[in-house]
């Protein structure tokens, strides 16, 4: 029998400590009186025996009971008076017998106590004896659909809990309430499309969910694979948006589904959000996810020489910080786990790249200054996490030549992050010699390019731009793209129009 004990001394002993037996330090050697209470049964008797023998006898009786009934006693409390009259109060020794240990069943003996004769055995739940082939662990069991749904539910619960924790910490103002109500109605209007994408996400064999890329919380990524496995495929490493607070890898499922139909692998990188992490944690997670893709995507059929980095909204900012940080490390000769030269191009969708220009705008939109400063680790960190500002610093201008070609996409009716944020970033990049371009879409909002237009189906300007750039060096793929059928509509037009009008973004 395995016995696990922990001892709590409420009153330290002063006298009677002797060596040779561990319990002597608590019970001494001069005790003349003992009182035992075992599971509510209390007895008293004069003690003239050695304390060691008395305690061994008590443990032996408990051991016999355990062996007969194949279960363990949950708790035993033994009270003992000290050996000195100057210490009048008893102190407890509590022994906990491990309930997980299974013991062999001995032959029945009428002299041993039973549940009818021993009050300790009453009201104790019966336990099955483990062991035997029928109890072997199912090692290597494949994950089930229920397990996948449970994992997604657990992560959704984590996101919701962190969001409410943030709101309790900062207080919920009028703008937050109206934004949340608008967001709920917006999601209801687009629900027909969300349900179809969710079905694909959870039940399609083309999706590899929650591939682990690091040891931090939420260091996971989803892989959206084409149906055809012939040849190596171009890869898009995608960092999702979410105002640095509600970002999640599943938000890229629609993009992953549609690019996979054009023979492109999409890896949606998850990362810690605020308040679970701050901007430095987010950039570190994104960089580690990119490193995993660069070093391991060949195992999933991807071409490590054709990797494209993309981010949307807050994800565009995080991805830009990650690739610029990596370029600076390379220019300084620091140790790196992936190279900027492995990235063929960077695509930034509706992103913000200068925190100094955005803090007041976000405050007016409901992302209050106190929240924003907490996310960005204070105003002192704005220089480091503003790619537009950092690229112009004289000390790191040499790193601009290492950056891949950069394409920024933005809608002119984007009220969450104005299109001027992309325009000024492109100008700063071009000023230091980087290859950068800006593509503007008239009348498009923050979510039109990423959600409403893809859900509408048919031809999509942004989607066609992306595919054309990714397949620019592959004439056969360009020919297949020209013959590809129009994408299927997922949401009725009337619902898309209403969602456009009510969108909180």
Q: Residue 119, Cβ neighbours under 10 Å: how many?
A: 13
Among the listed residues 351, 414, 416, the one whose alpha carbon sits nearest the alpha carbon of residue 388: 351
User: Which residue in the list 270, 414, 453, 460 is annotated as catalytic?
Assistant: 414
Q: What is the 3-state secondary structure (H, E, C) of 374-385?
A: HHCCCHHHCCCC
Among the listed residues 434, 444, 436, 374, the one whose alpha carbon sits nearest the alpha carbon of residue 408: 436
Q: Judge whether 361 counts as a catalytic residue.
A: no
What is the spatial distance between Cα 330 and Cα 402, in angstroms, rounded to a whole number? Answer: 8
Just give the CATH number of 148-502: 3.40.50.1820
Structure tokens given for 407: 């394409």
10 pLDDT higher than 50? no
**φ, ψ at 302 (rounded to 5°):** -90, 155
Residue 459 has what pLDDT? 86
DSSP secondary structure string for all residues of 360-405: HHHHHHT--HHHHHHHTTSGGGTTTT-HHHHTT-GGGGGGGGGSPP
What is the spatial distance between Cα 415 and Cα 350, in angstroms, rounded to a whole number? Answer: 10
Residue 498 has what pLDDT? 92
Among the listed residues 499, 175, 107, the one whose alpha carbon sits nearest the alpha carbon of residue 363: 175
Q: What is the mean pLDDT of residues 414-425?
A: 94
Contact, 409 vs 379, CB < 8 A?
Answer: no
User: What residues contact residue 153 under an 8 Å CB cut-off, 6+ apart?
Assistant: none
Among the listed residues 94, 105, 43, 99, the one whose alpha carbon sits nearest the alpha carbon of residue 73: 99
Distances (CA, A) of 135 to 2, 129, 143, 248: 21, 9, 20, 39
Q: Residue 219, CB half-sphere, CA atoms under 13 Å: how many?
A: 17
Least confident of 168-182, 305-319, 384-398, 464-478: 168-182
Query: How does residue 60 score in pLDDT terms, banded at 50, 70 and 90?
Result: low
Q: Judge whether 500 counts as a catalytic residue.
A: no
**What residue ranges do the domains of the chain occupy?**
3-129, 148-502
Least confident of 157-171, 307-321, 399-413, 448-462: 157-171
Query: How does residue 34 score in pLDDT terms, banded at 50, 70 and 90?
Result: very low
Q: Residue 6, CB half-sphere, CA atoms under 13 Å: how many?
A: 1
What is the spatial distance between Cα 34 and Cα 3, in angstroms, rounded to a whole number? Answer: 23
Angle CA(375)–CA(376)–CA(378) in degrees, nearest 5? 110
The pTM (predicted TM-score) of the whole model is: 0.68
Residue 334 has what pLDDT? 87
Contact, 485 vs 361, CB < 8 A?
Answer: no
Helices then strands (H, E): number in the chain?
16, 13
Q: Judge whether 453 counts as a catalytic residue.
A: no
Q: Residue 168, Cβ neighbours under 10 Å: how many?
A: 9
User: What residues contact residue 285 under an 8 Å CB cut-off, 6+ apart?
Assistant: 214, 216, 218, 219, 269, 270, 271, 272, 277
Among the listed residues 232, 219, 392, the one whose alpha carbon sits nearest the alpha carbon of residue 301: 232
**What is residue 458's DSSP assignment?**
B
DSSP β-ladder status, 406-411 and 436-441: parallel
Q: Residue 312, Cβ neighbours under 10 Å: how many?
A: 28
448 forms bridges with which residues in the sheet?
Answer: none
276 pLDDT higher than 50? yes
Query: Helices 253-260 and 461-470 meet at what angle, rounded to 10?
Result: 60
Average pLDDT of the residues of the chain: 77
489 pLDDT higher than 70? yes
Strand arrangement of the beta sheet that strand 406-411 belongs to: 207-212, 220-224, 265-269, 233-239, 302-312, 343-349, 406-411, 436-441
Rg (CA), the chain: 33
Least confident of 13-17, 185-189, 394-398: 13-17
User: Which residue in the list 210, 313, 419, 422 is annotated as catalytic?
Assistant: 313
270: exposed, middle or buried (C-beta count within 10 Å: 0-12, 13-18, 19+)? buried
Structure tokens given for 272: 């810690």
What is the spatial distance between Cα 193 and Cα 248, in angstroms, rounded to a whole number? Answer: 18
Residue 440 has what pLDDT? 96
176 pLDDT higher than 70? no
User: Which residue in the list 69, 224, 446, 500 is annotated as catalytic?
Assistant: 446
Of all residues in the chain, the percent with pLDDT exceeding 70 is: 67
What is the spatial distance between Cα 274 and Cα 162, in angstroms, rounded to a whole number? Answer: 8
């Amino acid at each position: 029998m395995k016995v696990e004990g922990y001892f709590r001394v409420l009153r330290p002993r002063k006298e009677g400590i002797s060596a040779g037996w561990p319990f002597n330090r608590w019970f001494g050697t001069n005790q003349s009186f003992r009182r035992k209470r075992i599971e509510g049964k209390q007895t008293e008797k004069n003690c003239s025996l050695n304390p060691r023998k008395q305690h061994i006898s008590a443990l032996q009786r408990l051991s016999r009971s355990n062996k007969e009934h194949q279960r363990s006693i949950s708790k035993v409390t033994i009270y003992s008076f000290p050996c000195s009259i100057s210490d009048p109060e008893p102190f407890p020794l509590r022994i906990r017998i491990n309930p997980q240990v299974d013991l062999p069943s001995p032959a029945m003996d009428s002299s041993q106590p039973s549940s009818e004769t021993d009050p300790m055995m009453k009201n104790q739940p019966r336990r099955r004896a483990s062991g035997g082939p029928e109890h072997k662990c199912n090692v290597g069991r494949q994950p089930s659909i229920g397990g996948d749904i449970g994992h997604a539910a657990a992560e959704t619960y984590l996101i919701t809990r962190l969001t409410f924790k943030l709101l309790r910490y900062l207080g919920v103002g009028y703008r937050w309430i109206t934004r949340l109500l608008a967001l709920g109605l917006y999601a209801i209007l687009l629900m027909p499309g969300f349900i179809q994408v969710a079905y694909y996400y959870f039940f399609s064999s083309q999706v590899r969910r929650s591939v682990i890329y690091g040891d931090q919380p939420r260091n996971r990524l989803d892989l959206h694979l084409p149906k055809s496995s012939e040849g190596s495929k171009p890869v898009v490493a995608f960092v999702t948006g979410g105002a640095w607070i509600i970002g999640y890898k599943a938000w890229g499922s629609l993009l992953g589904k549609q690019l996979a139909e054009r023979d492109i692998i999409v890896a949606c990188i998850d990362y810690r959000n605020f308040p679970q992490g701050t901007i430095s944690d987010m950039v570190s997670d994104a960089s580690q996810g990119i490193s995993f893709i660069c070093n391991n995507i060949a195992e999933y059929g991807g071409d490590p020489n054709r990797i494209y980095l993309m981010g949307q909204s807050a994800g565009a900012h995080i991805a830009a910080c990650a690739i610029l940080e990596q370029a600076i490390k390379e220019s300084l000769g620091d140790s790196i786990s992936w190279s900027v030269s492995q990235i063929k191009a960077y695509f930034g969708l509706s992103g913000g790249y200068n925190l100094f220009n955005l803090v007041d705008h976000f405050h007016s939109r409901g992302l209050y200054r106190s929240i924003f400063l907490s996310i960005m680790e204070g105003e002192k960190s704005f220089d480091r996490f503003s790619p537009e500002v950092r690229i112009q610093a004289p000390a790191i201008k040499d790193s601009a030549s290492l950056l891949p070609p950069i394409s920024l996409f933005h809608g002119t009716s984007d009220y969450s992050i104005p299109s001027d944020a992309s325009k000024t970033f492109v100008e700063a990049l071009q000023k230091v010699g980087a290859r950068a371009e800006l593509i503007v879409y008239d009348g498009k909002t923050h979510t039109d390019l990423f959600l409403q237009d893809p859900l509408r189906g048919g031809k999509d300007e942004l989607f066609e731009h992306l595919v054309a750039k990714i397949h620019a060096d592959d004439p056969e793929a360009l020919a297949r793209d020209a013959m590809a059928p129009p994408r299927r509509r997922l949401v009725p037009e009337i619902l898309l129009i209403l969602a456009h009008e009510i969108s909180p973004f």
